[in-house]
């Protein structure tokens, strides 16, 4: 049963005006300290995910990450640490570790300084601040889709301090109340995974085997392509066009009007980018220092947080735009750009990028590596037919995915309302 507290007071915290009268307010530095532990031989890698789970990487997945040879600056993590991802906290990468291990120095590992502090309550609270955009507003970084929220920023935040009894009750209530919602979300996510898998199979088949199931096949000579139609040819990407790296456009350069600008974060969830859909703009001066793109140009993500992020490819449709430094531009005129984009997004192309990726905290793929990739190519007429087939089928599957995503969004909204009301003291857990 939940009800409101008997009385409230002005907290003095601008992101949380009113709190229960019985609650205190203190800076985070009086509640938590940052640990700097040495790494032990038996420690395995712990990862802080955007959904708030902090666990051994092997417990969740091992693919899609780079492994550092030297692990420079790695630190010890212990079960129960409140872990804050310095660069990804804005997206919810804050949680309590369920394991002992080691982690990148980009994490802040925090422990309570007092016995009356429940780190799980403050985990819920900090993720509330991430979801309402407060942490993003504190961002000092210039990388798109990222922030720089370090312990030095966190420790200066004023935070509400309920009694330890209330903290424990809040955590217990939220753990139970959100479990069923999390189960429903997981079921919906499995459906999305299956739809994406089906979409990937359709793309892979079309760009390596074509659409005619009765066509005569031959060995492509490339292991990850396998057999391909006899009349297709294998070409090295370096022979198909020219690569260029984008210019230096940061989030601080963006404005409401001016020249349309594309940053690498705009590429992740699309197959095409249309000029009239671009929301970001920069001044003429910034544009002059960047790289201009034109209709039919192919864009790729040059960096990301995991191997899965790099090399995501789209086709630009429109008169002109300008691209940021983490975007790779591929200019070609010989083939159908959309066909090449689908080929670059195929599973075998992703596997190639996995092998060629570089980096630890931020993963990179370079044009020099992509140039060495091989693609299976039909003539332009067949490329066009395949693109029309894929556009139609991908659109259908993406529409189904969007329906499921809306259902997930409703579940997440319901979950966040429950969490927000409880951790901020709008309602009392009895």
pLDDT digits (tens, 9 = 90+) for 208-227: 999 999 999 999 998 888 99
Per residue in 324-357, pLDDT tens?
888 899 999 899 999 999 999 998 888 888 888 7
Residues 303 and 361: beta-carbon distance below 8 Å? no
Secondary-structure percent of the chain, ordered helix, strand, coil, rounded to 5 = 35, 25, 40
Distance CA 237, CA 353 (A): 13
At 227, is the secondary structure helix, strand, or coil? strand
pLDDT value at position 10?
94
Express as a percent the part of the chain with pLDDT over 90.
67
List, as one string, the DSSP characters of 202-245: HHHHHHHH-S-TTS-EEE-S-TTT-EEETT-EEEEGGGT-EEEE
Q: Which domains does the chain have, with CATH numbers?
A: 24-161 (3.90.220.20), 233-377 (3.90.220.20)
Evaluate if residue 33 carries a pLDDT over 70: yes
Evaluate if residue 2 carries a pLDDT over 80: no
pLDDT value at position 71?
61
At 64, is the secondary structure helix, strand, or coil? coil
Which of 225-229, 360-364, 402-406 is modeled with the greatest confidence?
A: 402-406
């Amino acid at each position: 049963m939940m009800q409101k507290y008997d009385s409230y007071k002005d907290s003095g915290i601008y992101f949380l005006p009113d709190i229960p009268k019985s609650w205190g307010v203190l800076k985070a530095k009086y509640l938590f300290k940052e640990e700097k532990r040495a790494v032990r031989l038996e420690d395995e890698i712990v990862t802080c995910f955007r959904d708030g789970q902090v666990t051994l990487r092997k417990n969740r997945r091992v693919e899609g990450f780079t492994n550092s040879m030297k692990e420079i600056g790695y630190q010890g993590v212990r079960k129960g640490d409140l872990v804050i991802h310095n660069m990804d906290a804005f997206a919810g990468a804050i949680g309590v570790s369920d394991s002992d291990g080691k982690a990148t120095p980009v994490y802040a590992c925090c422990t309570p300084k007092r016995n009356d502090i429940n780190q799980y309550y403050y985990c819920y609270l900090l993720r509330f601040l991430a979801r309402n955009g407060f942490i993003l507003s504190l961002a000092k970084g210039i990388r798109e889709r990222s922030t720089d929220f370090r312990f030095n920023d966190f420790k200066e935040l004023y935070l509400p301090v309920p009694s330890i009894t209330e903290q424990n009750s809040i955590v217990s209530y939220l753990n139970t109340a959100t479990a069923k919602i999390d189960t429903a979300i997981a079921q919906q996510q499995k459906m999305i995974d299956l739809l994406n898998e089906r979409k990937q199979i359709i793309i892979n088949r079309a760009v390596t085997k074509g659409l005619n199931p009765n066509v005569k096949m031959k060995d492509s000579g490339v292991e990850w392509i396998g057999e391909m139609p006899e009349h297709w040819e294998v070409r090295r990407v370096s022979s198909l066009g020219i690569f260029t790296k984008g210019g230096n456009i940061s989030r601080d350069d963006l404005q409401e009007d001016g020249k349309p600008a594309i940053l690498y974060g705009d590429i992740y969830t699309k197959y095409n980018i249309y000029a009239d859909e671009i929301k970001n703009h920069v001044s003429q001066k910034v544009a002059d220092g960047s790289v201009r793109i034109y209709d039919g140009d192919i864009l790729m993500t040059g960096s990301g947080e995991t191997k899965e992020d790099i090399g995501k490819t789209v086709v630009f449709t429109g008169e002109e735009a300008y691209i940021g430094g983490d975007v790779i531009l591929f200019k070609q005129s010989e083939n159908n750009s959309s066909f090449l984009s689908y080929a670059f997004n195929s599973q075998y192309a992703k596997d190639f990028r996995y092998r060629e990726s570089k980096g630890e905290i931020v993963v990179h793929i370079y044009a020099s590596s992509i140039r060495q990739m091989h693609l299976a190519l039909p003539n332009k007429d067949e490329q066009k037919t395949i693109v029309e087939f894929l556009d139609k089928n991908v659109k259908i599957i993406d529409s189904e995915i969007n329906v499921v995503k809306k259902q997930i969004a409703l579940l997440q909204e319901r979950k966040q309302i429950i969490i927000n009301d409880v951790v901020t003291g709008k309602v009392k857990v009895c």
